[in-house]
Amino acid sequence: MLVYVISQDGKPLMPTTPARARKMLRDGKAKCIKRTPFTIKLLYQTTTYTQTITLGVDTGSSHIGSAAVDNKGNVVYLSEVEIRNDVSDKMKQRTKYRRNRRNRKTRYRPARWLNRKNSIKTGRFSPTMVSKLHSHEKEILFAKSLLPISDVILETATFNPHALKNPAVLKNKWLYQRGTNYGFANTKAFVLDRDSYTCRHCKGKSKDSRLEVHHIIFRSNGGSDEKENLITLCKTCHDKVHSGEIKLHGGKVKGQLKHATQMNSIRKQLLLQNPEVHETFGFITKEHRQFMGLPKEHYYDAVAIANLNNLEKYGMLSVDVKTPLLRKKCVSDGDYQQTKGVRSEQPIQTSKIMGFRKFDKVEYAGQEFFIKGRMSTGYAILMGINGMKIPLKPIPKFDRMKRLSARKSWIIQQEIIQNIA
Protein backbone atom coordinates (compact mmCIF):
# COMPACT_ATOMS: atom_id res chain seq x y z
CA MET A 1 0.00 0.00 0.00
CA LEU A 2 1.16 3.52 -0.80
CA VAL A 3 -0.03 6.98 0.16
CA TYR A 4 0.27 9.75 -2.43
CA VAL A 5 1.94 12.98 -1.31
CA ILE A 6 1.42 16.53 -2.56
CA SER A 7 3.88 19.30 -1.68
CA GLN A 8 2.91 22.55 0.00
CA ASP A 9 3.08 24.20 -3.44
CA GLY A 10 0.62 21.67 -4.89
CA LYS A 11 3.16 19.60 -6.84
CA PRO A 12 3.11 15.78 -6.67
CA LEU A 13 5.97 14.06 -4.86
CA MET A 14 7.00 10.42 -4.54
CA PRO A 15 4.45 8.31 -2.61
CA THR A 16 5.18 7.22 0.94
CA THR A 17 4.21 4.37 3.26
CA PRO A 18 1.04 4.42 5.40
CA ALA A 19 3.14 4.44 8.61
CA ARG A 20 4.98 7.62 7.61
CA ALA A 21 1.74 9.22 6.49
CA ARG A 22 0.07 8.46 9.84
CA LYS A 23 3.04 9.98 11.70
CA MET A 24 2.93 13.19 9.63
CA LEU A 25 -0.83 13.47 10.13
CA ARG A 26 -0.46 12.89 13.88
CA ASP A 27 2.31 15.52 14.16
CA GLY A 28 0.32 18.10 12.20
CA LYS A 29 2.81 18.15 9.31
CA ALA A 30 0.25 17.07 6.71
CA LYS A 31 -3.48 16.96 6.05
CA CYS A 32 -5.70 14.55 4.14
CA ILE A 33 -7.02 16.02 0.89
CA LYS A 34 -8.41 12.90 -0.84
CA ARG A 35 -9.92 9.72 0.48
CA THR A 36 -9.79 7.53 -2.66
CA PRO A 37 -6.96 7.15 -3.39
CA PHE A 38 -5.68 8.29 -0.01
CA THR A 39 -3.63 11.46 -0.58
CA ILE A 40 -2.02 13.88 1.87
CA LYS A 41 -0.69 17.40 1.43
CA LEU A 42 2.39 18.57 3.30
CA LEU A 43 2.11 21.67 5.48
CA TYR A 44 5.83 22.49 5.38
CA GLN A 45 8.45 23.18 2.71
CA THR A 46 10.49 20.22 1.55
CA THR A 47 12.79 19.22 -1.29
CA THR A 48 11.15 18.27 -4.58
CA TYR A 49 13.51 15.44 -5.54
CA THR A 50 11.64 12.77 -7.48
CA GLN A 51 12.46 9.57 -9.33
CA THR A 52 11.59 8.62 -12.89
CA ILE A 53 7.93 7.62 -13.16
CA THR A 54 6.51 6.30 -16.44
CA LEU A 55 2.77 6.26 -17.13
CA GLY A 56 1.43 3.65 -19.52
CA VAL A 57 -2.09 4.06 -20.93
CA ASP A 58 -4.03 1.34 -22.74
CA THR A 59 -6.50 3.47 -24.69
CA GLY A 60 -9.88 2.10 -25.72
CA SER A 61 -13.42 3.03 -26.69
CA SER A 62 -14.99 1.08 -23.79
CA HIS A 63 -12.24 0.80 -21.14
CA ILE A 64 -9.01 2.62 -20.30
CA GLY A 65 -6.21 0.88 -18.45
CA SER A 66 -3.43 2.96 -16.91
CA ALA A 67 -0.43 2.14 -14.76
CA ALA A 68 2.58 4.07 -13.47
CA VAL A 69 5.89 2.36 -12.66
CA ASP A 70 9.18 3.55 -11.22
CA ASN A 71 12.63 2.86 -12.68
CA LYS A 72 12.67 -0.59 -11.01
CA GLY A 73 9.34 -1.70 -12.46
CA ASN A 74 7.33 -1.32 -9.25
CA VAL A 75 3.69 -0.42 -9.92
CA VAL A 76 2.83 2.75 -7.98
CA TYR A 77 -0.48 3.54 -9.71
CA LEU A 78 -3.03 1.19 -11.26
CA SER A 79 -6.50 1.95 -12.58
CA GLU A 80 -9.19 0.84 -15.00
CA VAL A 81 -11.83 3.26 -16.30
CA GLU A 82 -15.17 2.22 -17.81
CA ILE A 83 -16.09 4.83 -20.42
CA ARG A 84 -19.63 5.94 -21.15
CA ASN A 85 -21.27 4.42 -24.23
CA ASP A 86 -24.75 5.75 -23.52
CA VAL A 87 -24.32 9.34 -24.72
CA SER A 88 -26.17 8.74 -27.99
CA ASP A 89 -29.06 7.00 -26.21
CA LYS A 90 -29.25 9.79 -23.63
CA MET A 91 -29.48 12.40 -26.40
CA LYS A 92 -32.28 10.44 -28.10
CA GLN A 93 -34.07 10.30 -24.75
CA ARG A 94 -33.66 14.06 -24.37
CA THR A 95 -35.07 14.58 -27.87
CA LYS A 96 -38.18 12.57 -26.99
CA TYR A 97 -38.80 14.51 -23.78
CA ARG A 98 -38.31 17.85 -25.54
CA ARG A 99 -40.60 16.92 -28.43
CA ASN A 100 -43.27 15.72 -26.03
CA ARG A 101 -43.03 18.88 -23.95
CA ARG A 102 -43.19 21.18 -26.99
CA ASN A 103 -46.18 19.32 -28.39
CA ARG A 104 -47.97 19.86 -25.07
CA LYS A 105 -47.05 23.46 -24.43
CA THR A 106 -46.45 24.97 -27.90
CA ARG A 107 -48.59 22.79 -30.11
CA TYR A 108 -49.02 25.48 -32.80
CA ARG A 109 -45.34 26.31 -33.12
CA PRO A 110 -43.97 25.36 -36.56
CA ALA A 111 -41.31 22.66 -36.62
CA ARG A 112 -37.67 23.78 -36.67
CA TRP A 113 -34.53 21.94 -37.72
CA LEU A 114 -30.89 22.66 -38.46
CA ASN A 115 -31.03 25.65 -36.13
CA ARG A 116 -27.93 24.70 -34.14
CA LYS A 117 -24.56 25.86 -35.40
CA ASN A 118 -22.82 22.98 -33.67
CA SER A 119 -24.75 20.47 -35.80
CA ILE A 120 -23.67 21.87 -39.17
CA LYS A 121 -20.13 23.09 -38.58
CA THR A 122 -17.26 21.27 -40.27
CA GLY A 123 -14.70 19.28 -38.31
CA ARG A 124 -17.22 18.63 -35.56
CA PHE A 125 -16.61 15.89 -33.00
CA SER A 126 -19.77 14.02 -32.03
CA PRO A 127 -20.85 14.15 -28.36
CA THR A 128 -19.94 10.46 -27.95
CA MET A 129 -16.42 11.09 -29.23
CA VAL A 130 -16.02 14.21 -27.09
CA SER A 131 -17.04 12.25 -23.99
CA LYS A 132 -14.53 9.46 -24.72
CA LEU A 133 -11.73 11.91 -25.54
CA HIS A 134 -12.35 13.81 -22.30
CA SER A 135 -12.28 10.53 -20.36
CA HIS A 136 -8.78 9.78 -21.71
CA GLU A 137 -7.54 13.29 -20.98
CA LYS A 138 -9.00 13.25 -17.47
CA GLU A 139 -7.36 9.92 -16.63
CA ILE A 140 -3.94 11.18 -17.75
CA LEU A 141 -4.35 14.42 -15.78
CA PHE A 142 -5.56 12.47 -12.72
CA ALA A 143 -2.41 10.33 -12.69
CA LYS A 144 -0.24 13.43 -13.18
CA SER A 145 -1.92 15.10 -10.20
CA LEU A 146 -0.84 12.24 -7.91
CA LEU A 147 2.62 11.38 -9.20
CA PRO A 148 5.57 13.24 -10.78
CA ILE A 149 5.08 11.64 -14.21
CA SER A 150 8.17 12.11 -16.39
CA ASP A 151 7.15 10.02 -19.41
CA VAL A 152 3.82 8.95 -20.95
CA ILE A 153 3.39 6.00 -23.34
CA LEU A 154 0.10 5.48 -25.18
CA GLU A 155 -0.99 2.29 -26.90
CA THR A 156 -3.05 3.14 -29.97
CA ALA A 157 -4.64 0.98 -32.64
CA THR A 158 -3.62 2.49 -35.99
CA PHE A 159 -5.21 0.84 -38.98
CA ASN A 160 -7.60 2.00 -41.66
CA PRO A 161 -11.00 0.29 -41.19
CA HIS A 162 -12.12 1.29 -44.69
CA ALA A 163 -9.00 -0.21 -46.28
CA LEU A 164 -9.71 -3.56 -44.62
CA LYS A 165 -12.86 -3.92 -46.69
CA ASN A 166 -11.59 -2.18 -49.83
CA PRO A 167 -7.76 -2.00 -50.12
CA ALA A 168 -8.11 -0.02 -53.36
CA VAL A 169 -8.79 3.15 -51.35
CA LEU A 170 -5.07 3.35 -50.54
CA LYS A 171 -4.36 4.12 -54.22
CA ASN A 172 -7.64 5.76 -55.24
CA LYS A 173 -8.66 8.23 -52.52
CA TRP A 174 -11.97 9.03 -54.23
CA LEU A 175 -13.17 5.53 -53.30
CA TYR A 176 -13.55 6.77 -49.70
CA GLN A 177 -16.83 8.30 -50.90
CA ARG A 178 -18.16 4.81 -51.56
CA GLY A 179 -18.86 3.58 -48.08
CA THR A 180 -20.92 0.58 -46.95
CA ASN A 181 -24.21 2.32 -47.84
CA TYR A 182 -23.11 3.52 -51.27
CA GLY A 183 -25.40 2.35 -54.07
CA PHE A 184 -28.13 1.07 -51.76
CA ALA A 185 -30.80 1.93 -54.35
CA ASN A 186 -29.09 -0.41 -56.85
CA THR A 187 -28.84 -3.13 -54.20
CA LYS A 188 -32.56 -2.75 -53.54
CA ALA A 189 -33.33 -3.15 -57.25
CA PHE A 190 -31.06 -6.21 -57.37
CA VAL A 191 -32.89 -7.85 -54.44
CA LEU A 192 -36.29 -7.26 -56.06
CA ASP A 193 -35.06 -8.78 -59.33
CA ARG A 194 -33.36 -11.68 -57.53
CA ASP A 195 -36.61 -12.55 -55.74
CA SER A 196 -38.61 -12.26 -59.00
CA TYR A 197 -40.67 -9.38 -57.57
CA THR A 198 -42.45 -11.86 -55.30
CA CYS A 199 -42.90 -11.89 -51.54
CA ARG A 200 -40.55 -14.56 -50.24
CA HIS A 201 -42.85 -15.41 -47.32
CA CYS A 202 -46.38 -15.72 -48.66
CA LYS A 203 -45.40 -16.22 -52.33
CA GLY A 204 -48.09 -13.74 -53.40
CA LYS A 205 -50.97 -15.32 -51.46
CA SER A 206 -51.77 -12.07 -49.65
CA LYS A 207 -52.63 -10.39 -52.99
CA ASP A 208 -50.72 -7.32 -51.77
CA SER A 209 -49.04 -5.73 -54.79
CA ARG A 210 -46.84 -3.36 -52.77
CA LEU A 211 -43.37 -4.87 -52.35
CA GLU A 212 -40.74 -3.73 -49.83
CA VAL A 213 -37.15 -4.75 -49.11
CA HIS A 214 -36.69 -5.91 -45.52
CA HIS A 215 -33.54 -6.31 -43.39
CA ILE A 216 -33.60 -9.85 -41.98
CA ILE A 217 -31.37 -8.71 -39.11
CA PHE A 218 -32.51 -5.21 -38.25
CA ARG A 219 -29.97 -2.47 -38.76
CA SER A 220 -30.58 -1.42 -35.16
CA ASN A 221 -29.26 -4.88 -34.17
CA GLY A 222 -26.18 -4.63 -36.35
CA GLY A 223 -27.62 -5.96 -39.62
CA SER A 224 -25.81 -5.04 -42.82
CA ASP A 225 -27.13 -3.48 -46.04
CA GLU A 226 -25.64 -6.27 -48.12
CA LYS A 227 -27.83 -8.44 -50.32
CA GLU A 228 -27.38 -11.46 -48.05
CA ASN A 229 -29.32 -9.61 -45.33
CA LEU A 230 -32.12 -8.31 -47.59
CA ILE A 231 -35.33 -10.05 -48.60
CA THR A 232 -38.41 -9.04 -50.60
CA LEU A 233 -41.68 -8.93 -48.65
CA CYS A 234 -45.11 -7.60 -49.42
CA LYS A 235 -46.47 -4.77 -47.29
CA THR A 236 -48.76 -7.16 -45.37
CA CYS A 237 -45.98 -9.59 -44.42
CA HIS A 238 -43.56 -6.75 -43.72
CA ASP A 239 -45.94 -5.26 -41.14
CA LYS A 240 -46.42 -8.68 -39.55
CA VAL A 241 -42.65 -9.14 -39.24
CA HIS A 242 -42.29 -5.84 -37.38
CA SER A 243 -45.27 -6.60 -35.15
CA GLY A 244 -43.74 -9.95 -34.18
CA GLU A 245 -46.31 -12.22 -35.85
CA ILE A 246 -43.73 -13.56 -38.33
CA LYS A 247 -40.13 -14.49 -37.57
CA LEU A 248 -37.46 -14.72 -40.27
CA HIS A 249 -34.17 -16.59 -39.97
CA GLY A 250 -30.75 -16.11 -41.52
CA GLY A 251 -29.32 -12.75 -42.50
CA LYS A 252 -25.91 -11.23 -42.11
CA VAL A 253 -24.44 -8.96 -39.46
CA LYS A 254 -22.23 -6.16 -40.66
CA GLY A 255 -18.63 -5.98 -39.51
CA GLN A 256 -18.22 -4.12 -36.24
CA LEU A 257 -15.48 -1.56 -36.87
CA LYS A 258 -17.13 1.22 -34.89
CA HIS A 259 -14.70 1.04 -31.97
CA ALA A 260 -11.66 0.94 -34.28
CA THR A 261 -12.91 4.02 -36.13
CA GLN A 262 -13.51 5.86 -32.86
CA MET A 263 -10.02 5.00 -31.59
CA ASN A 264 -8.46 6.24 -34.82
CA SER A 265 -10.01 9.68 -34.22
CA ILE A 266 -9.26 9.70 -30.48
CA ARG A 267 -5.63 8.73 -31.16
CA LYS A 268 -5.12 11.72 -33.46
CA GLN A 269 -6.58 14.14 -30.91
CA LEU A 270 -4.53 12.71 -28.02
CA LEU A 271 -1.29 12.97 -30.00
CA LEU A 272 -2.12 16.53 -31.06
CA GLN A 273 -2.89 17.66 -27.52
CA ASN A 274 0.03 15.73 -25.96
CA PRO A 275 2.95 16.01 -28.41
CA GLU A 276 5.44 14.84 -25.76
CA VAL A 277 3.94 11.36 -25.39
CA HIS A 278 5.36 8.21 -26.98
CA GLU A 279 3.27 5.82 -29.02
CA THR A 280 3.25 2.04 -29.06
CA PHE A 281 1.06 -0.62 -30.65
CA GLY A 282 -1.13 -3.47 -29.51
CA PHE A 283 0.97 -6.34 -30.84
CA ILE A 284 4.02 -5.03 -28.95
CA THR A 285 2.00 -4.79 -25.74
CA LYS A 286 0.72 -8.35 -26.16
CA GLU A 287 4.23 -9.76 -26.60
CA HIS A 288 5.57 -7.92 -23.53
CA ARG A 289 2.56 -8.83 -21.38
CA GLN A 290 2.93 -12.52 -22.22
CA PHE A 291 6.70 -12.28 -21.65
CA MET A 292 6.02 -10.87 -18.17
CA GLY A 293 3.48 -13.62 -17.44
CA LEU A 294 0.53 -11.27 -16.91
CA PRO A 295 -3.12 -12.19 -17.60
CA LYS A 296 -5.23 -10.27 -20.12
CA GLU A 297 -6.62 -7.25 -18.35
CA HIS A 298 -6.68 -3.62 -19.38
CA TYR A 299 -4.64 -2.55 -16.37
CA TYR A 300 -2.07 -5.32 -16.91
CA ASP A 301 -1.75 -4.17 -20.52
CA ALA A 302 -0.97 -0.74 -19.09
CA VAL A 303 1.69 -2.29 -16.81
CA ALA A 304 3.35 -3.87 -19.85
CA ILE A 305 3.18 -0.55 -21.72
CA ALA A 306 4.71 1.41 -18.83
CA ASN A 307 7.55 -1.14 -18.49
CA LEU A 308 8.68 -0.92 -22.12
CA ASN A 309 11.86 0.95 -21.20
CA ASN A 310 12.53 -1.21 -18.12
CA LEU A 311 12.22 -4.41 -20.17
CA GLU A 312 14.80 -3.14 -22.63
CA LYS A 313 17.08 -2.13 -19.75
CA TYR A 314 16.75 -5.04 -17.29
CA GLY A 315 15.20 -7.84 -19.32
CA MET A 316 12.85 -10.06 -17.29
CA LEU A 317 10.86 -8.21 -14.60
CA SER A 318 8.69 -9.45 -11.76
CA VAL A 319 5.63 -7.27 -11.29
CA ASP A 320 5.35 -5.85 -7.78
CA VAL A 321 2.03 -4.04 -7.35
CA LYS A 322 2.40 -1.67 -4.39
CA THR A 323 -0.99 0.00 -4.71
CA PRO A 324 -4.60 -1.19 -4.97
CA LEU A 325 -6.47 -1.10 -8.26
CA LEU A 326 -8.69 1.94 -8.77
CA ARG A 327 -11.87 0.93 -10.59
CA LYS A 328 -13.59 3.95 -12.11
CA LYS A 329 -16.88 4.27 -13.92
CA CYS A 330 -17.88 7.39 -15.84
CA VAL A 331 -21.46 8.44 -15.05
CA SER A 332 -23.87 11.01 -16.42
CA ASP A 333 -24.65 14.31 -14.73
CA GLY A 334 -28.29 13.34 -14.31
CA ASP A 335 -31.47 12.19 -16.02
CA TYR A 336 -33.50 14.18 -18.51
CA GLN A 337 -36.82 13.00 -17.11
CA GLN A 338 -38.04 15.77 -14.84
CA THR A 339 -41.69 14.74 -14.38
CA LYS A 340 -43.86 11.62 -14.29
CA GLY A 341 -47.53 10.78 -14.49
CA VAL A 342 -50.10 10.49 -17.28
CA ARG A 343 -49.88 14.20 -18.06
CA SER A 344 -46.41 14.73 -16.60
CA GLU A 345 -47.99 16.51 -13.67
CA GLN A 346 -45.75 15.05 -10.93
CA PRO A 347 -42.28 16.60 -10.69
CA ILE A 348 -39.31 14.33 -9.96
CA GLN A 349 -36.95 15.67 -7.34
CA THR A 350 -33.45 15.85 -8.80
CA SER A 351 -31.82 17.83 -5.99
CA LYS A 352 -30.68 16.40 -2.67
CA ILE A 353 -33.01 14.21 -0.65
CA MET A 354 -32.06 14.29 3.04
CA GLY A 355 -28.56 15.39 2.02
CA PHE A 356 -27.97 12.63 -0.56
CA ARG A 357 -27.79 12.66 -4.37
CA LYS A 358 -27.62 9.95 -6.99
CA PHE A 359 -24.14 8.35 -7.34
CA ASP A 360 -23.00 9.64 -3.94
CA LYS A 361 -20.58 7.26 -2.22
CA VAL A 362 -21.96 6.10 1.13
CA GLU A 363 -21.09 3.74 3.94
CA TYR A 364 -23.82 1.36 5.03
CA ALA A 365 -23.51 -1.62 7.38
CA GLY A 366 -19.73 -1.29 7.36
CA GLN A 367 -19.43 -1.45 3.54
CA GLU A 368 -19.09 1.14 0.77
CA PHE A 369 -21.81 1.52 -1.86
CA PHE A 370 -23.10 4.06 -4.38
CA ILE A 371 -26.63 5.44 -4.49
CA LYS A 372 -28.52 4.13 -7.52
CA GLY A 373 -32.00 5.41 -6.67
CA ARG A 374 -33.70 7.50 -3.98
CA MET A 375 -37.15 7.66 -2.45
CA SER A 376 -38.67 10.74 -0.89
CA THR A 377 -39.77 8.52 2.00
CA GLY A 378 -36.14 8.21 3.13
CA TYR A 379 -35.14 4.93 1.50
CA ALA A 380 -32.40 4.32 -1.07
CA ILE A 381 -31.38 1.73 -3.66
CA LEU A 382 -27.66 0.97 -3.53
CA MET A 383 -25.31 -0.40 -6.19
CA GLY A 384 -21.71 -1.46 -6.67
CA ILE A 385 -19.10 0.00 -9.00
CA ASN A 386 -20.49 -2.16 -11.83
CA GLY A 387 -23.86 -0.40 -11.65
CA MET A 388 -25.76 -3.52 -10.50
CA LYS A 389 -28.37 -3.17 -7.76
CA ILE A 390 -27.42 -4.66 -4.38
CA PRO A 391 -30.39 -6.65 -2.98
CA LEU A 392 -30.35 -5.56 0.66
CA LYS A 393 -33.07 -6.37 3.17
CA PRO A 394 -34.43 -4.41 4.85
CA ILE A 395 -34.28 -1.56 2.31
CA PRO A 396 -31.51 0.87 3.40
CA LYS A 397 -32.57 4.17 4.97
CA PHE A 398 -30.73 7.46 4.67
CA ASP A 399 -30.53 7.96 8.42
CA ARG A 400 -28.39 4.81 8.70
CA MET A 401 -25.93 5.86 6.01
CA LYS A 402 -22.81 7.97 6.12
CA ARG A 403 -21.95 10.05 3.07
CA LEU A 404 -18.29 9.48 2.17
CA SER A 405 -17.98 11.60 -0.98
CA ALA A 406 -20.20 13.60 -3.29
CA ARG A 407 -20.97 12.47 -6.81
CA LYS A 408 -18.59 13.49 -9.59
CA SER A 409 -18.22 12.72 -13.29
CA TRP A 410 -16.91 9.28 -12.31
CA ILE A 411 -17.24 7.01 -9.31
CA ILE A 412 -14.17 5.31 -7.81
CA GLN A 413 -13.66 2.18 -5.74
CA GLN A 414 -10.45 0.53 -4.57
CA GLU A 415 -9.78 -3.17 -5.07
CA ILE A 416 -6.85 -5.17 -3.71
CA ILE A 417 -5.25 -7.44 -6.33
CA GLN A 418 -2.70 -10.17 -5.77
CA ASN A 419 0.86 -9.90 -7.02
CA ILE A 420 1.76 -12.27 -9.84
CA ALA A 421 5.12 -13.95 -9.48
Let me know if residue 248 belongs to a domain.
no
Q: What is the pLDDT of residues 82-130, one digit of tens each?
A: 999 999 888 888 888 888 888 888 888 887 777 777 777 777 788 899 9
Q: Report pLDDT for 171.
A: 63
- Inter-CA distances, 281 with 288, 315, 410, Å: 11, 20, 28
Q: Are 58 and 156 members of one domain?
A: yes
Q: Pick from 303, 329, 355: which residue ends a domain?
A: 329
Indicate the residue among 192, 217, 243 that finishes a domain.
243
311 is a domain residue: yes
Which residues does residue 179 pair with via DSSP β-bridges, in sequence order?
Answer: none
* Residue 178 in domain: no
pLDDT value, residue 327: 95
The pLDDT of residue 44? 93
Question: How many independent structural domains does the chain possess?
Answer: 4
> How far, in Å, CA of 402 to CA of 414, rounded?
18
Does residue 192 share a domain with residue 238? Answer: yes
The whole-number pLDDT of residue 251 equals 55
Is there a domain that residue 191 lies in?
yes
Whether 172 is in a domain gets the answer: no
Pick 310 or 214 by higher pLDDT. Answer: 214
Residues 58 and 155 both lie in one domain: yes
SS3 of the chain: CCEEEECCCCCECCCECHHHHHHHHHCCCEEEEECCCCEEEECCCCCCCCCCEEEEEECCCCEEEEEEECCCCEEEEEEEEECCCCHHHHHHHHHHHHHHHHHHHCCCCCCCCCCCHHHHCCCCCCHHHHHHHHHHHHHHHHHHHHCCEEEEEEECCCCCHHHHHCHHHHCCHHHHHCCCCCCHHHHHHHHHHHCCCCCCCCCCCCCCCCEEEEECCCHHHCECCCHHHEEEEEHHHHHHHHHCCCCCCCCCECCCCHHHHHHHHHHHHHHHHCCCCEEECHHHHHHHHHHCCCCCCHHHHHHHHHCHHHHHHHCCCCCEECCCEEEEEECCCCCCCCEECCCCCEECCCCCECCECCCCEEEECCEEEEEEEECCCCEEEEECCCCCECCCCCCCEHHHCEEEECCCCEEEEEECCCCCC
- 359-375: buried (b, 16+ CB within 10 Å) or exposed (e) per residue? bbbbebeeebbbbbebe
Mean pLDDT highest for which of 14-28, 195-209, 275-289, 325-339? 14-28
345 lies in the same domain as 325: no
Q: For residue 303, give Cα distances in angstroms to 54, 68, 342.
A: 10, 7, 53
**Of 266, 318, 314, residue with least CA distance to 294:** 318
What share of the chain has pLDDT > 90, as a percent? Answer: 41
Q: Are residues 379 and 403 in the same domain?
A: yes
State the Cα–Cα distance between residues 15 and 205, nearest whole angstrom. Answer: 78
- Mean pLDDT, residues 295-316 taken together: 85
Question: Within this chain, do residues 324 and 336 fall inside the same structural domain, yes or no?
Answer: no
- Residue 178 confidence class, pLDDT cut points 50, 70, 90: low
Mark which of 271, 305, 329 sits at the end of a domain.
Answer: 329
pLDDT band at 267 (very low <50, low <70, confident <90, very high): confident
Cis omega (within 30 of 0) on the bond before 37?
yes
- Give pTM, 2 decimals: 0.75
Mean pLDDT of the 395-402 span: 94
Boundaries of domain holding 68: 53-85+126-160+258-329
337 and 322 share one domain: no
Mean confidence (pLDDT) of the chain: 85
Q: Are residues 278 and 152 in the same domain?
A: yes
Q: How confident is the model at residue 17 (pLDDT cuts 50, 70, 90)?
A: very high
Regarding whether 221 and 194 lie in a shared domain, the answer is yes
Q: Does residue 130 lie within any of the structural domains?
A: yes
* CATH number (domain holding residue 305): 3.30.420.40
User: Could you tell me if residue 316 is inside a domain?
Assistant: yes
Same-domain pairing of 70 and 152: yes
What is the Cα–Cα distance from 7 to 414, expressed in whole angstroms?
24
Domain-embedded: residue 203: yes
Q: Is the pLDDT at 173 greater than 70, yes or no?
A: no
Same domain, 217 and 353: no
Same domain for 68 and 188?
no
